[in-house]
Amino acid sequence: MDLVHASLRRKEPGPVPTQESGEVVGILWAHALPGDALQHVTVVCKADQVDVLLYLLTRHPADGPSTSVRTAHSLLARSYRASPLLARRYHLPPPAG
């Protein structure tokens, strides 16, 4: 299993909404595809950002490195495009690499 960390920077820092972590977790699960191999999501909310930990089954293309970082970014980008809440509150992190 691979663990991928991403930080979603807030567009406007401020108090953390009470249900924010549950909202972010729900949005990510709603937009996860079977091929993402998502197993678990942990969200930690802070005044200036939301830290997301995505637990993904390790996938390797033939003799190549794990694809988990790329998969995690695809899931975040897909969720960001589909969710007005994510787009309104946070900046999408750039792809790793």
22 confidence band (pLDDT: 50, 70, 90): very high
**In angstroms, how far is CA 20 from the centroid of its own chain?**
14
CATH assignment of 2-91, among 3.30.450, 3.30.70, 1.10.530, 1.25.10: 3.30.70
pLDDT per position as a tens digit, 33-50: 999 999 999 999 998 999
pTM of the model: 0.88
d(CA 33, CA 37): 8
* Rg of the chain over all Cα atoms, to the nearest angstrom: 13
Domain boundaries, the chain: 2-91
